[in-house]
A and B are shown apart, each in its own frame.
Chain A
Amino acid sequence: MESRPSCTVDHIQNLQHLQHLQHLRSLAPIQALWPIGFVALGRFGHSTFIAGRPPRPSTARRVLQIMTKKKDTAEQAEFRRYATAWLAENAPGPPPHRIPEISIEVVEEELKDYLVDWQSQCYDAGMVGADYPSEYGGGGHDGFQAVANQEMGRARTPYMINVVGLNMAAPTILQHGTEEQKRRYIKPILSAEEIWCQGFSEPNAGSDLASLTASAVRDGDTWTINGHKVWTSLAHFAKWMIMMCRTDTQVKHAGITYFLVPIADTPGVTVRPLIKITGQSGFNEVLFDDVVVDDAARLDEVGKGWDVAMTTLLHERGAAESAGGGGNHRLEERVHALIALAKRTPRGAGTAWDDAAIRDRIVQLVIRAEGIKQNGRRARVEALCDDPMRLPLQMKVLISELMQDLSALGVEIAGAHSTLYVGDPNAPDEAEWPLSFMNSFGMTIAAGTSEVQRNILGERILGLAKSK
């Protein structure tokens, strides 16, 4: 029998394009295990643009080489020694507040300052931006960032606060920006001097992102922007927004243009916090009322915005690297915390851990967590992967759904005590379980919902007919 679905030409071209973009992603420092580590490629499930891309075999081959590379080069080995030593010396002290699971949830000013400080130290030490060209503020190396990521993961140091900047804005600007834009924006992203946010989603454009309506109208050398962006993470700290606007209402995808918009202290921009399901603030809505920006704020050509955004969204996805590289310790910690909870929660004559039904369900999650880790490992072994994108594209769904099931089981095990919420002195683990259960829906919704991710997997990997 055939071991793989026979691929259409489009299918193959898509994958090659994905591989190319995946390579670009390796420029980014490691991120927390979370949505924004993982992409909303989702929202491009039906893009006609993807299918039209020419194949780039040489890049695809290069990516495979990177993914399957086993040993450090001499330079990497030396850098690894340096990174390990530097991290041992410089790992930061305890944070002023509990660090949330993912960086886009950071809301306290003090915690932000602490994390900005950490990122900027890492930047100065060459642990961030290591593979970016030196003329844009990077280290100018090749293959150092992956080493830094692994070592940071191993040292369990805090994540980078400028996650949208690092994972999305910087690689997009590097690929599509003018020389001036690259010189202006990349360095302060790497050093966390300037925080970025992503203004893609709108009230009526989510999974079907290309239906967005925020408009940019040209007037000579300036553009006037009007519209409403929602669920904008980090906008409360951000100086800049990567933004998609409609510049042509006659065509859907080709009517979109990409902008780099200043949102802090800009006349006509209003940033309003949106309160999450948990009762805490987290993300925002951003309103644009006749906001005027220079034409220099445009990234790439008019009408090319969808194409540019593809670069951005592909970087949002956690590929094999996040799983293989050490970011995984959070999952393991969560699993251990769940076992610890079960072992100290009384049930009948013993504890919840002694209850065979509970044990079984916990062990199911233990196995899923190990599975994610081993998928990440196998994704790098070419001989054990029929299709190089098959494992990486599953990561977002796997991690977000595991985190959700884990916290749901924690709630169940905590039993009556799970009714106690943040602030109650008797809440187990400071109400971590109900809190992270609620927060986990952020992971299964953001960056391409689980449903949309499954559409993509079915269409791109299995070659099934497109839903739309």
Chain B
Amino acid sequence: MSSANRQPKDFGFGEEETMLRDSARRLLSDAAGVETLRRTVAPDHTAAYESETQPAPWDEALWRKMVGLGWTAVAATEDAGGAAMKMVAVAALAEEAGRAALPSPLIATLLATRVLGKAAGAGAIAAAERIVAGTATSLAITDKRGSWEPGDTSVAARATDYGYELDGSAYFVQDARKAGQFIVSARVKGDVGGGGISDGAGGLGLFRVDATQPGLEIIPDQIVDLTRDQAHLELGGVEVAADCVIAAPGEGEQVLAAATADMLTIVAADMCGAAEWQLQTTVEYARVRTQFDRPLGFFQAVKHPLVNMMIDIDRARSLVYNAACACDSEPEQAERYARMAKAAASDAAAFCSSRSVQLHGGIGFTWECDVHLWFKRQLHNQVYLGDAAYQRAKLADLIDRD
């Protein structure tokens, strides 16, 4: 709670950031409006949830346009040809993606970009350069249990003559079927062979793996959220050349820890944007739908929860910009603020989702009503990277260190 003395009063959110945000809002409302979204991801309920054939539909032309506008460069460092914009700009972009419930690998790619930015070395820069050029990228850093601890992985790395060989599986990989490359976390196992490294033994490393690489199998999960896809990766003897090492064994955990605040902030920003859509859409309904000769919003049992949605959203949004600003200018406080932001955003999302369905009544319970698309995206983001209670437990640990 220490006052953000070192942070600029205005979060560092200036003209450039505003321009990016406004142009994103414009593009997405033109090219990724709710009609388009519905047509793309939820044309009918059978296709959406049919096992194995569950599509991961997205607008690839729009992705190329976004790349052309530099959105994949926004979060990348200059040495990778990126724009190195502030985290407040990245947060604003994520917020717009959430508002549109955008089916796109943008968020996954932004997360990966921030991770790469924390790793020094040619492998990280090369991977980031590909992102800037338009390669969608996703993190494969979660084990089967779904642990969000950066040190946990169920992929093993074995040093070889040419680099490493990866074996095992990675779970909860976001937008896996849209990604061109993955950043895989793997732990070096005891037996170090060939000309391998010995002092990194047992350490966690980060490795770039191409989506088309031999030995990699992408197995789609059947998921609730229709605005993204998820998969688990099976890696059987996947070869990683030395120049594809992003963080050498022993350094990976630190890199992931350093990027934690950025990752949480981006996901929280997405949730804030989505929650604002839920609020405005439900408010609009409460203004036009009439029962007992009054618009629904006249009744305080409707009015007050809508106000509470707004209150929750505003808290989360203020905390997101504070966290983003800390990533830029007060990094030692960033994790603390980001955990606050993610906790507040997860709670806000849960409340906004529940009220957006409830206050629409019967229609809100149907496939036809668009609120379900945001409801499901929020449900996914609520747990992704750790739910509110998890963030609060982590925050309590940080308070203990005060």
Question: Residues on A close to B: CB < 8 A?
Answer: 1-5, 68, 70, 332, 335-336, 339, 356, 359-360, 362-364, 366-375, 377-378, 380-381, 383-384, 390-391, 394, 397-398, 451, 454-455, 457-459, 461-467
Q: Is B25 an interface residue (CB 8 A)?
A: yes
Q: Are B29 and A1 in contact (CB under 8 A)?
A: yes
Q: Is B177 an interface residue (CB 8 A)?
A: no
CA distance in complex: A257, B337 (Å): 50
CA distance in complex: A368, B311 (Å): 11
Q: Is B130 an interface residue (CB 8 A)?
A: no
- A-chain residues with CB within 8 Å of residue B306 when the two chains form the complex: 458, 462, 464
Closest 6 CB pairs between A and B?
A464-B297, A371-B315, A374-B318, A465-B298, A458-B303, A363-B392
Residue picked from A370, A374, A380, most chain B C-beta under 10 Å? A374
Q: Closest approach, in angstroms, between the C-beta of A459 and any C-beta of chain B?
A: 8
Q: Closest approach, in angstroms, between the C-beta of A465 and any C-beta of chain B?
A: 4
Q: Is B144 an interface residue (CB 8 A)?
A: no
Q: Are A380 and B9 in contact (CB under 8 A)?
A: yes
Stretch at the interface among B178-186, B203-211, B241-249, B273-281: B273-281
Q: Closest approach, in angstroms, between the C-beta of B72 and any C-beta of chain A?
A: 23
- A-chain residues with CB within 8 Å of residue B3 when the two chains form the complex: 373
Q: Which of A68, A378, A397, A461 contacts B318 (CB under 8 A)?
A: A378
CA distance in complex: A375, B310 (Å): 12
- B-chain residues with CB within 8 Å of residue A335 when the two chains form the complex: 1
Q: Are B281 and A1 in contact (CB under 8 A)?
A: yes
Q: Closest approach, in angstroms, between the C-beta of B23 and any C-beta of chain A?
A: 13
CA distance in complex: A457, B322 (Å): 24
- A-chain residues with CB within 8 Å of residue B393 when the two chains form the complex: 356, 359-360, 363
Q: Which residue of the partner chain B has the closest CB to A456?
A: B307
Q: Is B328 an interface residue (CB 8 A)?
A: no
Q: Is B199 an interface residue (CB 8 A)?
A: no
Q: Are A1 and B9 in contact (CB under 8 A)?
A: no
Q: Are A363 and B399 in contact (CB under 8 A)?
A: yes
CA distance in complex: A378, B325 (Å): 12
Q: Closest approach, in angstroms, between the C-beta of B367 and any C-beta of chain A?
A: 19
CA distance in complex: A368, B318 (Å): 11
Q: Closest approach, in angstroms, between the C-beta of B173 and any C-beta of chain A?
A: 29
Q: Are B298 and A466 in contact (CB under 8 A)?
A: yes
Q: Are B297 and A458 in contact (CB under 8 A)?
A: yes
Number of B residues near A (Cβ < 8 Å) is 56
Q: Are A465 and B294 in contact (CB under 8 A)?
A: yes
Stretch at the interface among B11-19, B63-71, B156-164: B11-19
Q: Are B344 and A3 in contact (CB under 8 A)?
A: no
- 17 additional A-B pairs beyond A367-B340, A467-B300, beta carbons within 8 Å, are A3-B280, A4-B280, A362-B396, A364-B392, A370-B322, A370-B340, A377-B9, A378-B11, A378-B318, A381-B321, A384-B321, A394-B314, A451-B300, A454-B303, A455-B303, A464-B306, A465-B295
Q: Is B395 an interface residue (CB 8 A)?
A: yes
Q: Are B287 and A371 in contact (CB under 8 A)?
A: no
- A-chain residues with CB within 8 Å of residue B295 when the two chains form the complex: 464-465
- B-chain residues with CB within 8 Å of residue A378 when the two chains form the complex: 11, 314, 317-318, 321
Q: Are B321 and A374 in contact (CB under 8 A)?
A: yes
Q: Which residue of the partner chain A has the closest CB to B337?
A: A370
Q: Is B363 an interface residue (CB 8 A)?
A: no
CA distance in complex: A107, B393 (Å): 42
Q: Closest approach, in angstroms, between the C-beta of B394 and any C-beta of chain A?
A: 9
Q: Are B286 and A464 in contact (CB under 8 A)?
A: yes
- B-chain residues with CB within 8 Å of residue A339 when the two chains form the complex: 399
- B-chain residues with CB within 8 Å of residue A398 when the two chains form the complex: 311, 315
Q: Which residue of the partner chain A has the closest CB to B309?
A: A462
Q: Which residue of the partner chain B has the closest CB to A375?
A: B318
Q: Closest approach, in angstroms, between the C-beta of A391 and any C-beta of chain B?
A: 6
- A-chain residues with CB within 8 Å of residue B389 when the two chains form the complex: 360
- B-chain residues with CB within 8 Å of residue A463 when the two chains form the complex: 283, 287
- B-chain residues with CB within 8 Å of residue A360 when the two chains form the complex: 389, 392-393, 396
Q: Are B343 and A464 in contact (CB under 8 A)?
A: no
Residue picked from B14, B18, B99, B399, most chain A C-beta under 10 Å? B399
- CB pairs A–B below 8 angstroms (18 shown): A3-B276, A3-B280, A70-B9, A70-B10, A363-B396, A371-B319, A371-B340, A375-B315, A384-B11, A394-B310, A454-B304, A458-B306, A461-B307, A462-B279, A462-B303, A462-B310, A465-B295, A466-B298
Q: Closest approach, in angstroms, between the C-beta of A33 and any C-beta of chain B?
A: 15
Q: Are B392 and A390 in contact (CB under 8 A)?
A: no
- A-chain residues with CB within 8 Å of residue B18 when the two chains form the complex: 383
Q: Are A377 and B322 in contact (CB under 8 A)?
A: yes
Q: Closest approach, in angstroms, between the C-beta of A323 and any C-beta of chain B?
A: 10
Residue picked from A4, A363, A377, A397, most chain B C-beta under 10 Å? A363
Q: Are A465 and B297 in contact (CB under 8 A)?
A: yes
Q: Which residue of the partner chain A has the closest CB to B295?
A: A465
CA distance in complex: A367, B277 (Å): 23
- B-chain residues with CB within 8 Å of residue A70 when the two chains form the complex: 9-10
Q: Which of A373, A377, A464 contacts B283 (CB under 8 A)?
A: A464
- B-chain residues with CB within 8 Å of residue A465 when the two chains form the complex: 287, 294-295, 297-298
Q: Are B399 and A366 in contact (CB under 8 A)?
A: yes
- B-chain residues with CB within 8 Å of residue A373 when the two chains form the complex: 3
Q: Are A370 and B280 in contact (CB under 8 A)?
A: no
- B-chain residues with CB within 8 Å of residue A461 when the two chains form the complex: 307, 310
Q: Closest approach, in angstroms, between the C-beta of A174 and any C-beta of chain B?
A: 29
Q: Is B33 an interface residue (CB 8 A)?
A: yes
CA distance in complex: A462, B285 (Å): 12
Q: Closest approach, in angstroms, between the C-beta of B63 and any C-beta of chain A?
A: 21
Q: Which residue of the partner chain A has the closest CB to B88?
A: A384
Q: Are B287 and A381 in contact (CB under 8 A)?
A: no
Residue picked from B10, B295, B311, B318, most chain A C-beta under 10 Å? B318
- B-chain residues with CB within 8 Å of residue A68 when the two chains form the complex: 10
Q: Which residue of the partner chain A has the closest CB to B395?
A: A363
- B-chain residues with CB within 8 Å of residue A455 when the two chains form the complex: 300, 303
Q: Which residue of the partner chain A has the closest CB to B22?
A: A383
CA distance in complex: A464, B319 (Å): 27
- A-chain residues with CB within 8 Å of residue B316 when the two chains form the complex: 371
Q: Which residue of the partner chain B has the closest CB to A328?
A: B3
- B-chain residues with CB within 8 Å of residue A366 when the two chains form the complex: 1, 340, 395, 399
CA distance in complex: A1, B306 (Å): 18
Q: Which of B277, B281, B319 contacts A370 (CB under 8 A)?
A: B319
Q: Which of B14, B280, B344 contacts A367 (CB under 8 A)?
A: B344
Q: Is B34 an interface residue (CB 8 A)?
A: yes
Q: Which residue of the partner chain A has the closest CB to B276?
A: A3
Q: Are A367 and B392 in contact (CB under 8 A)?
A: yes
- B-chain residues with CB within 8 Å of residue A1 when the two chains form the complex: 29, 33-34, 99, 277, 280-281
Q: Closest approach, in angstroms, between the C-beta of A406 and any C-beta of chain B?
A: 13
Q: Is B368 an interface residue (CB 8 A)?
A: no
- B-chain residues with CB within 8 Å of residue A332 when the two chains form the complex: 1
